[in-house]
């Protein structure tokens, strides 16, 4: 393989010709030019366009590092006159329009952003977090333009909100349960935000939705009922168990208040300190919390019964077959109806 072809491969010069390589200030600089069929094209739409001028001269694009050494691609940045977009910098095959990084660099950073923390991605790629955000925006926009519509073929979806900044700033997100992928997200946490998703989805595709999981928030459930009348609306396991945990905490507070009113300060203090051992899952309890839970079983039968109700409901979602899950749920419903604990009944 020739010298130029080697650097075209390892330097990420896709669709280009390597004219030379130099080392400047500790950076490997690959001097390149676009191949004939890739020249004189609009940087925005890629159409062939007449040349306009030489622009600002040579331009550099950051490429993937060669081992521990930085690498960049340098080439002419002439401008063309596009009939649709006017005078713009001509396209180069190894980088997106108006980007300072190669496609291979963008793709690597975007992948790292989905697999690692932002600090790890920035440290490994030797770049800033704002740059990572700009790269993600370019890659996603490019994928949406040339790839299939992510909303096609949706059958089972989940809708929830996630906090992305302090000060009650939320995103509403929609995931595809069949692929596990995020398919839509938007700022906001209200009925209008969910409606924007279903407006984008369209009536025909919404009619094919078979199941929608969410919490009990009315701003989600009401819009789902309006937009997907044929879909089965499901409450996700986390929020079902959260309801049982809330009911358990009601019992704990009732007993704690009764102990305080009765003058049993020691019992009230023990019960207040026991809230974490009844909230947490058994497998996550510390040794000290396990001892406290064992003492609770002996000293407060009512609260321990409420704890068992919470854990029995959680066990429904860990059943090995649907039939076993239905059996466990039927048994739990019968127990909850006759348990004589108002919050569970």
Beta carbons within 8 Å of 317's beta carbon, 6+ residues apart: 237, 240, 241, 325
Handedness of CA 109, 111, 117, 118 (dihedral sign): positive
What b/e string do you get for 260-282 counting C-beta neighbours within 10 Å, with b at 16 or more? eeeeeeebbebbeebeebbeeee
The total of other beta-carbon atoms located within 10 Å of residue 187's CB is: 10
pLDDT at 1 over 50: no
pLDDT tens for 177-226 read 999 888 999 999 999 999 999 999 999 999 999 999 998 889 999 999 99
The confidence score (pLDDT) of residue 2 equals 63
Confidence of residue 7 (pLDDT cuts 50, 70, 90): low
Show the tokens assigned to 333: 């419903």
Could you tell me which of 252, 296, 290, 251 has the C-alpha nearest to residue 272?
Answer: 252
The answer to whether 153 and 134 have CB atoms below 8 angstroms apart is: no
pLDDT tens for 16-56 read 788 888 898 889 888 888 887 778 888 888 888 888 888 77
Domains assigned to the chain: 1-96 (no CATH), 156-235 (3.30.420.10), 238-337 (no CATH)
pLDDT tens for 326-342 read 999 999 999 999 999 99
d(CA 126, CA 139): 19
Which of 4-13, 97-106, 110-119, 131-140 has the least mean pLDDT?
A: 4-13
d(CA 137, CA 209): 29
d(CA 331, CA 313): 10
Confidence of residue 143 (pLDDT cuts 50, 70, 90): confident
């Amino acid at each position: 393989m020739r010298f130029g072809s080697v650097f075209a491969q390892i330097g990420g010069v896709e669709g280009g010709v390597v004219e030379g390589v130099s080392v400047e200030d500790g950076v490997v600089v690959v001097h390149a030019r676009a191949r004939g069929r890739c020249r004189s094209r609009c940087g925005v739409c890629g159409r062939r366009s007449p040349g306009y001028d030489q622009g600002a001269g040579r331009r550099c694009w950051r490429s993937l590092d060669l081992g521990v050494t930085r690498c960049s691609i340098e080439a002419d940045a002439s401008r063309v006159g596009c009939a649709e977009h006017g005078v713009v910098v001509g396209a180069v095959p190894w980088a997106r329009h108006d980007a300072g990084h190669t496609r291979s660099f963008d793709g690597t950073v975007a992948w790292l952003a989905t697999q690692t923390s932002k600090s790890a991605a920035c440290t490994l790629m030797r770049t800033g977090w704002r740059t990572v955000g700009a790269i993600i925006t370019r890659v996603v926009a490019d994928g949406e333009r040339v790839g299939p519509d992510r909303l096609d073929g949706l059958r089972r979806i989940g809708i929830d909100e996630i906090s992305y900044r302090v000060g009650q700033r939320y995103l509403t997100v929609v995931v595809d349960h069949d692929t596990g992928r995020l398919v839509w997200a938007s700022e906001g946490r209200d009925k209008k935000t969910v409606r924007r998703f279903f407006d984008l989805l369209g009536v025909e595709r919404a009619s094919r939705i078979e199941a929608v999981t969410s919490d009990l928030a009315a701003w989600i459930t009401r819009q789902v009922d309006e937009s997907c009348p044929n879909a089965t609306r499901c409450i996700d396991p986390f929020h079902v168990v959260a309801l049982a945990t809330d009911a358990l905490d009601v019992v704990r507070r009732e007993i704690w208040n009764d102990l305080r009113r009765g003058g049993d300060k020691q019992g009230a203090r023990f019960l207040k300190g026991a809230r974490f051992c009844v909230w947490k899952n058994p497998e996550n309890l510390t040794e000290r919390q396990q001892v406290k839970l064992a003492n609770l079983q002996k000293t407060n039968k009512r609260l321990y019964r409420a704890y068992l109700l919470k854990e029995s409901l959680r066990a429904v979602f860990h059943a090995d077959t649907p039939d076993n899950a239905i059996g466990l749920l039927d048994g739990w419903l019968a127990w909850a109806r006759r348990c004589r604990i108002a919050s569970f009944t």
